Structure 1
């Protein structure tokens, strides 16, 4: 099977920044002077390799501006620490917040990059004490770190996992409170292959974590999706010659359209008339 490989620069909606935010998000940059819905999330919300992500389709279906604040490889900390983007989301009629992986947040065991949250920066004393045999300078990405820790000791890893999940709930609760509860949580679940190290995205997020947030938000939309490889949707994507392996693991345009339809049904009653 062959694919038409195009430059990722051919995508509509070049990355942009709002105000004083340092986070690159999906364009085109929207006006904030009219009513709008805001979308905060990572690579899936951004729509990597997809010309028209579900946020664009929703704008047509809802008849209301949809501001895509999704950023490639962003995690929860990318938004929780960004006053500009929180301010934009707070002014929205409603904000859709993607439930991102629990591995990509700073926590009592380790610190992540403030914007590229998938990148490991530093182990704290608690983690060095828990795993004294590990040289943490060997790690650059959180998934690699966690897979190694789990392989060394499943029992000790349970302590790390529990702490990550507690930190995730705390951080999400603070973000929801900052948005005054006008939030629809988007839980996009899809299986990962064995090479990814974890069985499913979002990593280390489970139903009890979603349930802990339900009383604080307008609702939780849980959708099982498929990667472009599984959905046989790679042909509809736009990517460079060396990007095929990455594109296979992303959500393709058919799934983006399905997500848009599901979100339209849930968002319509929440939008101010």
Structure 2
């Protein structure tokens, strides 16, 4: 699979801001004065390392302005923590919400950075009590911590995972309710929801989210679009370990390439057509 922009890894896409939001988004900037669809999500929605993310491709196919509100490494905390983002969603005719992972959110066990949700800040007393032998000052990222905790005790990790699932479900229900606009839930992953939903060792997002959790939100959204089992970053199907820092040639293995974004576009177009023109 070819990557648009391959070899131009340091070329950052145009950044823009909307209204009162404190976040910077991927441009080009779109007008919010006429009909538009808002796309909220993480690294995949942002479209890192591709020249035409699926939001832009949907706009080209439908003629409806599509506002890309994706944020790299964003979790539920970013999506709920910016009032300006909510106001943009309120004005949209529809919102495409990418399913976020269950690891990068503050919960009763630990806290994450308010904007870089993949960054671990501190363990709460409940987690310290559950894993008394662990020194949590050693961790800077949620994934690293979860991988270690699962190795220490799979049984106690199960307790933690259940707590994360509950926090994720509550956060997603609140987020969907606050959007106040028809929501299309997008599963954009290398795996199907029922596959490897307990995996933390790979970058198969959304981590610790599976079919049962997705089904719990079905009645709160107008549609669920599943885009999975597609070629991913030019390496074919299957999950890949995190790339080594500084090895830019390995980045495509962990992120969707242009063909994957185009597949999501094809899946979204008929669903959005039904939402926008019932």
TM-score by length of 1: 0.89
Cα shift at 1:246: 2.3
Q: Distance in 1 between matches of 2:57 and 2:129?
A: 49
Match of 2:205 in 1: 201
Q: Distance in 2 between matches of 1:211 and 1:226?
A: 25
Cα shift at 1:244: 2.1
Match of 1:8 in 2: 10
Match of 1:106 in 2: 106
Cα shift at 1:198: 3.8
Contact 2:231 2:259 (8 Å CA) reproduced: no
Q: Distance in 2 between matches of 1:266 and 1:37?
A: 12
1:173-195 Cα shifts (integer Å, max 9, x gaps): 00111112510000112159xx9
SS at match of 2:184: strand
Report the structure, 1 or 2, having the larger helix content: 1
- The count of residues paired between Structure 1 and Structure 2 equals 260
**Residue correspondence of structure 1 range 13-92 to structure 2 within 5 A:** 13-92=13-92
For structure 2, the residue ranges without an aligned partner over 5 or more in a row are 238-245
Q: Are positions 1:220 and 2:228 aligned together?
A: no
1:27-65 Cα shifts (integer Å, max 9, x gaps): 111110010000000000000000111111100111100
Q: Distance in 1 between matches of 2:162 and 2:173?
A: 17
Contact 2:22 2:84 (8 Å CA) reproduced: no
Q: Distance in 2 between matches of 1:77 and 1:126?
A: 20
1:111-147 Cα shifts (integer Å, max 9, x gaps): 0011111110110010000001111010001000000
TM-score by length of 2: 0.88
Q: Distance in 2 between matches of 1:228 and 1:69?
A: 22
Q: Distance in 2 between matches of 1:201 and 1:226?
A: 15
